[in-house]
Structure 1
Amino acid sequence: MLRSVVVLCARIDHVVTSGTFSLDGGTWDVDNNVWIVGDDSECVVIDAAHDAAAILAAIGDRSVRAILLTHAHDDHIDAAAELQAATGAPVLLNQGDRMLWDAVYPSAPPTGTLSDGQIVEVAGIALEVLHTPGHSPGAVCLSAPGLQTVFSGDTLFQGGPGATGRSFSDFPTIIESISAKLLTLPAETVVRTGHGDTTTIGAEAPHLEEWIARGH
């Protein structure tokens, strides 16, 4: 399924892919959001989940500037190698998640890193890397003020924070990340998540205290 949101000369394409997520000895069926930001000539892919063929179909004949990973849980990276081989694009990941990446790709490191404050440019749009640990140590969000959007990966969903009940995650850390890095964005900012429906910063911000209470 492919949807497009057009803003100025750039657009956001949305592909939903299906597969599994495995960690700590368990495996679950999941649907993932893959976001493609760009114009008719170039783009970046945000998360490479499950189905490289579906992602490549959405890319079409555009040049892929980079494959940006919000974190390295296997459901967000399991198509990364195939996508990189098909496009030649660098795969960028925050180094805090290398242990999760190495569990899937032990002999092929990511091409480069995503660091807090780093800017990735594509089609006249600047994506700012926000390091938001908690769901995983190297989790990042990608803020695109020119699109009034933040790509939140699994850090913030409609209805609350991402899960913190598995290895390498921490609830107080994710709350601090959301408070400091996401809820400070303009209220109208659209939150495009790693799974499920979009939301806005304005819709989620009033519930911070509820999340904190629920987490204790």
Structure 2
Amino acid sequence: MDDARIDHVVTSGTFSLDGGTWEVDNNVWLVGDDREVVIIDAAHDADEILAAVDDRRVVAIICTHAHDDHINAAEDLAKVTDALVMLHPADEELWRHVYPDDDFEPLHDGQEIEVAGVLLQILHTPGHSPGGVCVYAPQLNAVFSGDTLFEGGPGATGRSFSDFPTIIDSITERLLDLPPETIVHTGHGDSTTIGAEGPHLAEWIERGH
């Protein structure tokens, strides 16, 4: 635990859903030490992610959800590292859009994954997608929010498989109760804190109606 750290890689590619395609930059987060690591979100560029992994053992590849920009390097990474790709099963239909023949290891709410002496807690936070999760690391004062919570508000809910009231419930019930100093490492863009985002809940709800 004393040597545990968070590494950050930004990869670029596209996100496609509902017949549209957009250019996106994704945050890939690596939690571990000099010996082992967990990859959170396998986005776009397996080689770039592997360069950040270096020669460490990959304990798991955790997908916060199954939009293609968060999983499109997952199978390439799994083949090289022999690590399991982990995803909440409520996102299986989205997963099959990218990997019709490949399976994943199911994640469940409350599950804990240990890496470098750090416990990563899985919080099921649907709304952006049915199987969206956040990964909470209390020992590192961090939560990896995928596309559930960003600096400035909740993730998008205007496309298939998403729902605005559901994401608001997820943020309210699962994230805003975390300590206010908790750093929110997002799926895209800058990090924020729970304390910075919580006071704006009413504004988000008003904006979403």
Rounded to whole Å, the distance in 2 between the matches of 1:42 and 1:10 is: 9
Equivalence for 1:3 = none
134, 145, 161: which is aligned to 2:138?
145
Rounded to whole Å, the distance in 1 between the matches of 2:170 and 2:45 is: 30
Equivalence for 2:24 = 30
Describe the SS at the equivalent of 2:179. coil
Structure 2 alignment gaps of length 5 or more: none
Describe the SS at the equivalent of 2:126. coil
Equivalence for 1:129 = 122
Describe the SS at the equivalent of 2:93. helix
Rounded to whole Å, the distance in 1 between the matches of 2:164 and 2:73 is: 28
> Is 2:196 the partner of 1:196?
no
Describe the SS at the equivalent of 2:26. strand
Normalised by the size of structure 1, how large is the TM-score? 0.96
Equivalence for 1:103 = 97
Residue by residue, what CA displacement relative to the aligned partner does 1:60-87 show, whole Å, maximum 9, x if unpaired?
0000000000000000000001000110
Rounded to whole Å, the distance in 2 between the matches of 1:147 and 1:113 is: 24
Describe the SS at the equivalent of 1:33. strand
Normalised by the size of structure 2, how large is the TM-score? 0.99
173, 176, 183: which is aligned to 2:176?
183
Rounded to whole Å, the distance in 1 between the matches of 2:20 and 2:138 is: 37
Describe the SS at the equivalent of 2:43. coil
Equivalence for 1:114 = 107
Describe the SS at the equivalent of 1:212. helix
> Is 2:5 the partner of 1:11?
yes
Rounded to whole Å, the distance in 2 between the matches of 1:8 and 1:144 is: 14
Give the superposition deviation at 1:8.
Answer: 3.2
Describe the SS at the equivalent of 1:84. helix
Rounded to whole Å, the distance in 2 between the matches of 1:213 and 1:198 is: 23
Structure 1 alignment gaps of length 5 or more: 1-6
Rounded to whole Å, the distance in 1 between the matches of 2:75 and 2:85 is: 9
Give the superposition deviation at 1:114.
Answer: 1.1
State the 4+ residue runs in structure 1 displaced beyond 4 angstroms. Answer: none
Rounded to whole Å, the distance in 2 between the matches of 1:186 and 1:139 is: 21
Rounded to whole Å, the distance in 1 between the matches of 2:140 and 2:154 is: 23
Partner letter of residue 169 of structure 2? E
Partner letter of residue 56 of structure 1? L
Rounded to whole Å, the distance in 1 between the matches of 2:119 and 2:99 is: 29
Equivalence for 1:4 = none
Residue by residue, what CA displacement relative to the aligned partner does 1:112-149 show, whole Å, maximum 9, x if unpaired?
11110000100000000000000000000000000000
CA RMSD of aligned residues (A): 0.7
Rounded to whole Å, the distance in 2 between the matches of 1:126 and 1:9 is: 14
Rounded to whole Å, the distance in 2 between the matches of 1:40 and 1:119 is: 21
